[in-house]
Structure 1
Amino acid sequence: MSDQPAASVSPVLSVKNLTTSFLADGEWRSVVRDVSFDVMPGETVAIVGESGSGKSVTSLSIMRLLARGSSRVEGSITLNGRDILSLSDKEMRSVRGKDAAMIFQEPMTSLNPIFTVGRQISEALTCHGDISKADARAETIRLLEKVRIPNAASRFDEYPHQFSGGMRQRVMIAMALASRPKLLIADEPTTALDVTIQGQILDLIKVLQEEEGMSVLFITHDMGVVAEIADRTIVMYRGEAVETGTTDDIFNRGKHPYTRALLSAVPRLGSMDGRKWPLRFPVIDSATGERREPVEVAETVDRRKTPILEVKNLVTRFDIRGGLLGRKTGAIHAVEDVSFELFQGETLALVGESGCGKSTTGRSITRLVQPNAGSISLDGYDVLNLDAISLRQMRRSIQMIFQDPFASLNPRMTIGAAVAEPIVEHGLGTRAQARDKAADLLERVGLKPDMMKRYPHEFSGGQRQRICIARALALDPKVIVADESVSALDVSIKAQVCNLLMDLQQSLNLAFLFISHDMAVVERVSHRVAVMYLGEIVEIGPREELFRNPQHPYTKKLMAAVPVPDPARRGIRRNLATDELKSPVRPVGYVPPKRQFREVVAGHLVRTEEAA
């Protein structure tokens, strides 16, 4: 389907009746069916939908990046007047980068770790033009400056691992812009980034588009991002374009049930105004594509009791060694003087950007890393003074759910065995009993017991995260540390997993330490929120109070960076500073200043910045 604006100028990209199929079990199965759209000069078109909707396959089809033997692309794709599907492989290589460039979701896998970033961008220049090495270096530095990388000349010879996630994505954008393409295809370029870095990247793409007159095909499942960047939007569902129109029309007058459900499932900052307790997310019915209404979570927290977890003055540092003798030259102050309490049935969210120390805090509490100082009391255990046997027993009380479920599941182990393993290892039952409990847990997290014989690769990302939740519940813990456990999930899968966690909290009286950078999700699921910056808590308080009345400049910055699903905000510039998060590396002998806090209202504390 197509709903194109009338225009006398020719489109940069014209896709007609695109159908892409893959060979599976000896037969061709279509995953994109009869999709048509145009992208006009200087225009941004967004393709939105969840994993499996066909949006990324559409972009890979346009760039001819699908495996030839196992994929088939039919229809018509015209780029700058050229029929893409009729080009030879050699001709197509000259098109990629020069006429159309692509940015992928994970820059670390797209950049070669053994070459400097400068060399990789220079190569994009020399491949598509007759340019000297010196000129290529000068142009590369100009491009790095253009994408707002500080000290671009000195960073030319650095490697990808020396850049933060946001800066690596900027390098990918610089590389994509090297040959001044007419079309930039951005495939989920901000999904795994912190909210402030995401805001910077969106601002950057808008500015570069204005400066270069470039067209953008933006692929995402984040409706907030779509509202802020897209002129027109194509909604994909199960391989088909179910609705196409101006972004304003899609958001305010969307007709298809799936479009309306997708929009309603987006957590909006401020939607909890006036609500005291967490609220389940509206979810999309997978069969009909329609919305199911949310339910408020009943209050379960009793602050008159002793906290299940008490952290006082926690310090975790990592030594940096250098020189021939490997002497200590400094330390990363990952967690510095952090204190908080967590009660049974409560969710305390730890929020902040990558590198702020929130994940290290979670790992320190579980003793996956060894803290340097402080005290941790968990369910009666003095965590920092446990021997190996006691530590093993303590871990029955606290479990972690990690961000990447695929990396935390053994690919050679069936999911039934993975969930049953902790029960057997801790001697809490026979293998048969462990199997029965694993089946029960999988059912509890919304999976079928007959899936137990399958392997991790046979599940979707959302299903794998459910498996990890089931495994975390195997030892009947009282505290669960959820470390960015929903960050990379689609909006409706994220809603389902968050609802599942809230259901489990209510039925099992679990305490959650919810580590996240997604402020809109945090607002919905939390009882209290602690904001971390450079290893320290700068603000902590009840969720409704902290979101209604943020006090610390960093808290305000985090909230201002959240994309809002409102097309009226399109074209805004947040003017966020493009500097990377300041380094937590300190020289030998550094003594951090003693911090002072003031109480805004009962329980809402903010760090005073005189000593900052």
Structure 2
Amino acid sequence: MADLPILSVRNLTTSFLSGGVWKSVVRDVSFDVRPGETVAIVGESGSGKSVTSLSIMRLLAPGFSRIEGSILLNDRDLLALSEKEMRGVRGNEASMIFQEPMTSLNPIFTIGRQICEVLTRHKGMSRQEARAETIRLLEKVRIPNAGARFNDYPHQFSGGMRQRVMIAMALASRPRLLIADEPTTALDVTIQGQILDLIKVLQEEEDMSVLFITHDMGVVAEIADRTVVMYRGQQVEAGPTDEIFQRGQHPYTRALLAAVPRLGSMQGRKWPTRFPVVDIATGETMEPSEVAGTVARGMTPILAVKNLVARFPVRSGILGRQTGSVHAVENLSFDLFQGETLSLVGESGCGKSTTGRSILRLVEPTDGEIHLDGYDILRLDQPGLRRMRKSVQMIFQDPFSSLNPRMKVGSTIAEPFVKHKLGTAGQAREKACDLLEQVGLSSTMMDRYPHEFSGGQRQRIAIARALSLDPKVIVADESVSALDVSIKAQVCNLLLDLQQRLNLAFLFISHDMAVVERVSHRVAVMYLGEIIEIGPRAAIFDNPQHDYTKKLMAAVPVPDTARRGIRRNISNDELRSPVRPVGYQPPARTYRHVSEGHLVQIA
């Protein structure tokens, strides 16, 4: 490996203008990235790692930010370049993948046009060449039916698919340096595994260097040659990844490693188990405790779903005739009992979120039966639907978009209580105060707005709002997928505590198998709208039967640096399209009984 680094950062200090005063958020950070090397910057939200990457690319607002120090890319000082010269650097020499693809993709242009623009501007390709290369890139990041989806818009893709589009766009011009800012945070484990493989392969082919920003220590172990640990804007530890993992010196480094959920850590435990509580100041870890349940299995389920079908029409042509259907959910059946957590797991597009939304009638199912706490949900009129929703509430994946930015959090939490006329405005405010305390926040925060809270705090506010109607069932749709490891652990512990205290039933929708293993009583694995395996948590994780279940588990990142050379080679055939022609009838499915409550679909 060459001694001369591609990127050399020295004494980087970034400040923002606030109230007429310059406040530094990144202080005295120094590191190198050499050719073909991957350097990970790891830390939690607010540690300054994303500001570091934006400073390198000079993407901060010039009037309100100040970047000091030295940033050399291929021996050129980026801080000395004009904005026009920087535009030539971005995309050609250095490219960046952002965490949130929906805000990075232009909603009014097709994804094909947006990727083609990179190729025509930076590579001088013709429109035909750019189209062919764009389709090749989309296939490489596992977009099903890439050619047919060239003219689709960002809103027509799932969150995971939008992130893959962003990765394809960043890789289009084959940059020497790729800055990846949390690129796999909200992705399915199999997609995450393939993206990590893809980055490794491109590094070998192009001698590309990667600056990988993440809070997932499992990803760091698998991809990084060297690691920089950041805490509150400062670099607290740096060195070869092996040394950081085996002999980490700083308490915060040890705390990060301790908070990582490890697949297989629940062997021998009967009940869901809290995550370890880590003291950041000392790095000491308190042993987790089991949450003994009172699952009323054998009695009438609080939620019963039978033969649920959800399909969406696909229209094409000038007249917009229906040419097919997206079979999002196909003949799905399960029961959920009081005090139980049933986890639905699977990749983006498997139908798990559509299932959750169908239960609340946020999506209208095509067929089937849903019985909830005595309600036949699919037969309810609007007043009945309103009454039913007191029994079931939903926690969404992104708390920022699900909270009204113009409403104070106290009013947000109290609103369902007021709308359902469960008491006076004073009682609603008292309820909101009590709920904030229950989710680990202070009642003095009632008059703040959502933007004044961190991501983890906003998710706690969303949980408080869901509890305001005293529901019996909560649908948690990817509610911890984008959170830092320690915040994820805190929110999961909160959900387990609330379940034990209030005897709640959770439908926990997730793609994070390590988290699912800790919080679940039972697990249902979904693939292309169908449940392919269902059973008690221990049965699924200790004795998986379906090939797809095994692949999901094999793709989970493990915080072990010995796995750095691993290649999963996940087949593109796994993620087939759920679009079917008009009149298609799915085949009848049969299930094999493996053990008590453990069923697996027979291919």
What's the secondary structure of 1:97's corresponding residue? coil
Separation of aligned partners in 2, 1:386 and 1:120: 44
1:570 aligned to 550, 564, 568, which one? 564
Q: 1:124 to 1:502 in 2, by over 3 A?
A: same
2:587 aligned to 590, 593, 600, which one? 593
Q: 1:475 to 1:155 in 2, by over 3 A?
A: closer
Contact 2:2 2:34 in 1 (8 A): no
Contact 1:47 1:236 in 2 (8 A): yes
What's the secondary structure of 1:440's corresponding residue? helix
Q: How does 1:320-359 map to 2 (within 5 A)?
A: 320-323=314-317, 326-359=320-353
2:183 aligned to 189, 194, 205, which one? 189
What's the secondary structure of 2:384's corresponding residue? helix
Q: What amino acid does structure 2 have at the position aligned with 1:331? A: S
Q: How does 1:304-383 map to 2 (within 5 A)?
A: 304-323=298-317, 326-383=320-377
Separation of aligned partners in 2, 1:276 and 1:532: 24
Identify unmatched segments of 5+ residues in structure 2.
none
Answering whether residue 415 of structure 2 is matched by residue 421 of structure 1, we say yes
Answering whether residue 255 of structure 2 is matched by residue 246 of structure 1, we say no
Answering whether residue 33 of structure 2 is matched by residue 39 of structure 1, we say yes
Please, what TM-score do these two structures have when normalized by structure 2? Answer: 0.95
Report what 2:526 is aligned to.
Answer: 532
What's the secondary structure of 2:461's corresponding residue? helix
Report what 2:261 is aligned to.
Answer: 267
2:199 aligned to 187, 205, 212, which one? 205
Q: What amino acid does structure 1 have at the position aligned with 2:373? A: D
Contact 2:190 2:555 in 1 (8 A): yes
Contact 2:305 2:369 in 1 (8 A): yes
Answering whether residue 108 of structure 2 is matched by residue 123 of structure 1, we say no
Separation of aligned partners in 2, 1:262 and 1:114: 40
Q: How does 1:70-219 map to 2 (within 5 A)?
A: 70-128=64-122, 136=130, 140=134, 159-161=153-155, 165-219=159-213
What's the secondary structure of 2:572's corresponding residue? coil
2:487 aligned to 483, 493, 502, which one? 493
What's the secondary structure of 1:344's corresponding residue? coil
> Could you report, residue by residue, the CA deviation over 1:222-244 in whole angstroms, capped at 9, with x for unpaired residues?
11111110001111111111111
Between 48-57 and 357-366, the greater mean CA deviation after superposition: 357-366
Q: What amino acid does structure 2 have at the position aligned with 1:335? A: V
Report what 2:58 is aligned to.
Answer: 64
Q: CA deviation at 1:256?
A: 0.9
Q: CA deviation at 1:126?
A: 4.2
Separation of aligned partners in 2, 1:475 and 1:143: 47
Contact 1:186 1:217 in 2 (8 A): yes
Q: How many residues align?
A: 603
Please give the root-mean-square deviation of Cα atoms over the aligned residues, in Å: 2.2
1:507 aligned to 501, 521, 524, which one? 501
Q: 1:139 to 1:532 in 2, by over 3 A?
A: closer
Q: CA deviation at 1:130?
A: 5.5
What's the secondary structure of 2:411's corresponding residue? helix
Q: 1:149 to 1:67 in 2, by over 3 A?
A: same
Q: CA deviation at 1:131?
A: 5.4
Contact 1:261 1:283 in 2 (8 A): no
Q: How does 1:458-477 map to 2 (within 5 A)?
A: 458-477=452-471
Separation of aligned partners in 2, 1:285 and 1:454: 28
What's the secondary structure of 1:575's corresponding residue? coil
Please, what TM-score do these two structures have when normalized by structure 1? Answer: 0.94
Separation of aligned partners in 2, 1:306 and 1:191: 38
Q: 1:588 to 1:457 in 2, by over 3 A?
A: same
What's the secondary structure of 1:269's corresponding residue? coil
Separation of aligned partners in 2, 1:143 and 1:369: 33
Answering whether residue 226 of structure 2 is matched by residue 232 of structure 1, we say yes
Q: How does 1:262-301 map to 2 (within 5 A)?
A: 262-285=256-279, 291-301=285-295
Q: What amino acid does structure 2 have at the position aligned with 1:11? A: P
Answering whether residue 484 of structure 2 is matched by residue 517 of structure 1, we say no
Separation of aligned partners in 1, 2:546 and 2:186: 25
Separation of aligned partners in 2, 1:144 and 1:590: 27
Q: What amino acid does structure 1 have at the position aligned with 2:299? A: K
Q: CA deviation at 1:202?
A: 0.5
> Could you report, residue by residue, the CA deviation over 1:365-415 in whole angstroms, capped at 9, with x for unpaired residues?
122222232222211222222232222222111111111111111111111
Q: 1:382 to 1:134 in 2, by over 3 A?
A: closer
Q: 1:599 to 1:135 in 2, by over 3 A?
A: closer
Q: What amino acid does structure 2 have at the position aligned with 1:475? A: L
> Could you report, residue by residue, the CA deviation over 1:256-307 in whole angstroms, capped at 9, with x for unpaired residues?
1111110110111111111111110113446666544322211221324322
Q: 1:349 to 1:23 in 2, by over 3 A?
A: same
Separation of aligned partners in 1, 2:300 and 2:148: 53
Q: CA deviation at 1:354?
A: 1.2
Q: What amino acid does structure 2 have at the position aligned with 1:241? A: Q
What's the secondary structure of 2:509's corresponding residue? strand
> Could you report, residue by residue, the CA deviation over 1:501-552 in whole angstroms, capped at 9, with x for unpaired residues?
0000000011100011111100010000001111111100000111001111
Contact 1:164 1:580 in 2 (8 A): no
Q: CA deviation at 1:68?
A: 0.6
Contact 2:144 2:576 in 1 (8 A): no
Separation of aligned partners in 2, 1:451 and 1:142: 50
Contact 1:105 1:189 in 2 (8 A): yes
Separation of aligned partners in 1, 2:426 and 2:146: 60
Q: CA deviation at 1:174?
A: 3.8
> Could you report, residue by residue, the CA deviation over 1:13-44 in whole angstroms, capped at 9, with x for unpaired residues?
11111111111111111111111111111110
Q: 1:518 to 1:78 in 2, by over 3 A?
A: same
Between 363-372 and 341-350, the greater mean CA deviation after superposition: 363-372
Between 130-139 and 434-443, the greater mean CA deviation after superposition: 130-139
Q: 1:39 to 1:590 in 2, by over 3 A?
A: same
Q: 1:327 to 1:40 in 2, by over 3 A?
A: closer
Between 192-201 and 380-389, the greater mean CA deviation after superposition: 380-389
Separation of aligned partners in 2, 1:408 and 1:145: 32
Separation of aligned partners in 2, 1:357 and 1:133: 35
Separation of aligned partners in 2, 1:608 and 1:15: 55
Q: What amino acid does structure 1 have at the position aligned with 2:340? A: E
Q: What amino acid does structure 1 have at the position aligned with 2:347? A: E
1:444 aligned to 433, 438, 449, which one? 438
Q: CA deviation at 1:136?
A: 5.0
Q: 1:84 to 1:323 in 2, by over 3 A?
A: closer
> Could you report, residue by residue, the CA deviation over 1:34-70 in whole angstroms, capped at 9, with x for unpaired residues?
1111111111000000000000000111111111111
Q: What amino acid does structure 1 have at the position aligned with 2:349? A: G
Q: What amino acid does structure 2 have at the position aligned with 1:549? A: N
Q: Matched residues, percent identical?
A: 79
Q: 1:80 to 1:374 in 2, by over 3 A?
A: same
1:257 aligned to 248, 251, 256, which one? 251
Q: 1:93 to 1:205 in 2, by over 3 A?
A: same
Q: CA deviation at 1:157?
A: 5.3
